Amino acid sequence: MIEALAVLGGYLLGSLPFGYWLPRLLRGEDIRAQGSGNIGASNVFRVYGRRIGIAVALLDLAKGFAAALVGIWAGGALVGVLAGAAAMVGHARPVFMRFEKGGKMVATAGGAFFALAPLAALCCVGVWLVVFLVTRYASVASIVTALALIGLVLLFGYPWPVVAFAGAGAAAIVFLHRHNLRRLAGGTEHRFELKRARRA
């Protein structure tokens, strides 16, 4: 019973749409009508700048971390994986937004792996930053990091539920970035400019 509650709690945590709530609270605007229309941290960063964007990224990471950590406490690595996966699903289809389209799960997945596979997650932060700074494409950084995670959890010898979760999570992240891949192929993908934002 406690294991099922941990997974349900993970979904509810993941459903907290910080990328929608913070711009509403601080700017009085609907992020879905801005930029790409996505409620994820990348779009918030692009539209409103680093202060709000980083806050959303950290909150999205925290909800994945909390969900997986509670799952580990409730039933070990397998329940931690299920709770972390539930948080990712909640982020993608949040109940608090009537199951409308949410974010692309990158930060929430990262938070879950900080609880489940901290060494691999820490390395992934480095991978994401290097790829992003070189390419200035958040989508490329996210896809490369998701794929790198599979090798990293294998390298560090994490248990099979974590390895399976890394593979499934990477596949989901790549799938959710399929439109970005098409824009990259067509040369129309948005490249970040870190010097300024549309609003201070």
Cα(193)–Cα(36) distance, integer angstroms:
15
* Total residue count of the chain as it appears in this document: 200
Q: Which positions ≥6 away from 81 have C-beta within 8 Å? A: 68, 71, 116, 161, 162, 164, 165
Summarize pLDDT for 160-188 with one digit per residue, the tens: 999 999 999 899 889 988 888 998 888 88
Summarize pLDDT for 115-128 with one digit per residue, the tens: 999 999 999 999 99
Q: Is 163 exposed, middle or buried (0-12, 13-18, 19+ CB in 10 A)?
A: middle
pTM for the model stands at: 0.83
CB 98 within 8 A of CB 24: no
Residue 180 amino acid letter: N
Q: Which positions ≥6 away from 200 have C-beta within 8 Å? A: 49
Summarize pLDDT for 122-157 with one digit per residue, the tens: 999 999 999 999 998 888 999 999 999 999 999 999
pLDDT level of residue 197 (50, 70, 90 thresholds): very low
Q: What is the enclosing helix (H) or strand (E) of 13?
A: helix 2-14
